[in-house]
Amino acid sequence: MLEADFVIIGSGSAGSAMAYRLSEDGKHSVIVIEYGGSDAGPLIQMPSALSIPLNMPLYDWGFASEPEPHLGGRILATPRGKVIGGSSSINGMVYVRGHARDFDHWAEQGATGWSFADVLPYFKRMEDSHGGEDGWRGKGGPLHVQRGARTNPLYAAFIEAGRQAGFELTDDYNGAKQEGFGPMEQTIRNGQRWSAANAYLKPALKRQNVSLVKGFARRVIIENQRAVGVEIEARKQIQVVKARREVIVAASSINSPKLLMLSGIGPAKHLADHGIPVVADRPGVGQNLQDHMELYIQQEATQPITLNAILNPFSKALIGARWMFFKSGLGATNHFEAAAFVRSAPGVDYPDIQYHFIPAAVRYDGKAVAKSHGFQAHVGPMRSKSRGSITLRSHDPNAKPIIRFNYMSHADDWRDFRHCIRLTREIFGQAAFDPFRGQEISPGSHVQSDEELDAFIRSHAESAYHPCGTCRIGRADDLHAVVDPECRVIGVDGLRVADSSIFPRVTNGNLNAPSIMTGEKAADHILGRTPLAPSNQEPWINPRWQVSDR
């Protein structure tokens, strides 16, 4: 009999954290349902191989957007992890908590108890920080966070160029001061990807009270407005996994709203159109979809010091061998070792632009390598006003959902992206890059006017793979909220959602850290524990924010 106190759908960032915390005291049994398979092998565990699993049907759900009307009808890949550890097993391993003001905004939107003061203790609990700011960072938690070695001189050049352009420096953007140029943090430990599976799930599975069930979740079974189990397909048979206490959906911002709708929770008319009996009319399910977009601004390098030198089969084999035997060398990093968070204009009180810098000119998915040595910045606005949706294509659980991001549907997004391109050119134009700077590869120095920049953005803006917001947290009386501040699905008992789908608004930076924090905090709510005591630490806000962007 497949039965446990708590049944978690999804072994990703939040799901793994909850499996670990809900089973910690040994009093409760936990079943984690995961459709994907093992994360064993170098393609996932070797950090520098990060672009490979991202495109593999073995590890990725293979979702894609509908044609995006504001991007010339382009269809954008929407990778989500289909493997233990979920997207934390196929992501870029970049660790960003988000800015304090992000979480204060959540609280203002009705996510009571999720302000920065409330969530900081959970970020500390989950971390084992190597090199972070004392007093602001965690020690001894399951999730190891480190900095890269930054041996390539281009990393230092990027940080120095930011300083020369008049921007702040920060030694720890996950500490008191996010704003500025500095080292980037990675979820890597001893040269290996430190996914939620390695940090949380595998230790939890060593306990007697936790088990992993491989199966495809079809729907949540709800009787008399209470979730009692999950219908799964395993080995070509339909089975039921029973939950004595609660079902927790942690299946991603794409799959979580899809599962709710298949279970009768969502916009009543949409469900009726697909012949699904309505259990709870929640118009917000699948709405409020958000993401970060980014551009790759690429520059030729005049010295042969970039990673382009090692993108040949022989060099890759040597790097792979060194990693296999010693877990060291270029295989042991994601190459994202320098970063920046800056504000786009005076009057913006906290950063709204993020930079990832790498000493190579190459696409995220590993395709389209530049013909020469080069370096690049991934840059994009953090708080787009565009909103999209996830809807059902069919009542068949095997049908992929309809994903509409509506990227660039707000006029401000165009203004913000044009500013990002011009700002990056200013940074690359600083004296720190004089010894290294060749021609601009992308967009190319001929692309200058607003119209030319917009054409480049339309053709080349990519998702940063940070979808969220589709089961928004809010007040129980908020018609468009899906879960209350304790992650309980409004209108159904014994059912919660805890993953990036509950974010009211996308946070500053990559989403792995706030997703794990969500799992950590939700576990305390599920167990009925008093949340960790709020922090009284005050984050740094630029004293010049009203008069200057730097």
Binding residues for FAD: 5-34
Q: How many CA atoms lie within 13 A of 270 on its CB side?
A: 26
| Numbered residues of the known binding site | 5-34
* Cβ within 8 Å of residue 56, ≥6 positions away: 43
Q: Considering the candidates 419, 466, 480, 525, report the single residue annotated as catalytic.
A: 466
Tokens of 272: 């009726």
Tell me the CA distances in angstroms from 548 to 47, 167, 354, 430, one per residue in order: 38, 10, 17, 19
DSSP states of 24-82 as a string? TTSSS-EEEEESSB---SHHHHSGGGTTTGGG-TTTB--EEPPPBGGGTTB--EE--B-
Tokens of 300: 């030729």
Q: Please say if 466 is a catalytic residue.
A: yes
Q: What is the dihedral of CA 38, 89, 215, 41, to 10 degrees?
A: -10
Instruction: Please count the other Cβ atoms lying within 10 Å of the Cβ belonging to residue 527.
Output: 16
Tokens of 157: 């050049």
Beta bridge partners of 147: 185
94-126 b/e with 16+ CB inside 10 Å = b?
A: bbbbbbbbbbbbbbebbbbbbbbbbbbbbbbbb
Tell me the CA distances in angstroms from 381 to 136, 344, 378, one per residue in order: 26, 9, 11
Asked whether the beta carbons of 136 and 97 are under 8 A apart, the reply is no
What is the C-alpha to C-alpha distance for residues 114 and 104, in angstroms, rounded to an integer? Answer: 7
What is the C-alpha to C-alpha distance for residues 130 and 147, in angstroms, rounded to an integer? Answer: 7
∠ Cα 327 465 189 (to 5°): 20
Q: In terms of DSSP bridges, do strands 63-64 and 77-78 run parallel, antiparallel, or are they unpaired?
A: antiparallel
Q: Would you give the distance in Å from CA 478 to the centre of its chain?
A: 26
Asked whether the beta carbons of 128 and 139 are under 8 A apart, the reply is yes
Please return the burial class of 55, using the count of CB atoms within 10 Å of its CB with bins 0-12, 13-18 and 19+: middle
Asked whether the beta carbons of 466 and 511 are under 8 A apart, the reply is yes
Fill in the amino acid letter for 544.
Answer: R
What is the C-alpha to C-alpha distance for residues 550 and 548, in angstroms, rounded to an integer? Answer: 5
Instruction: Please count the other Cβ atoms lying within 10 Å of the Cβ belonging to residue 50.
Output: 23
Catalytic residue set: 466
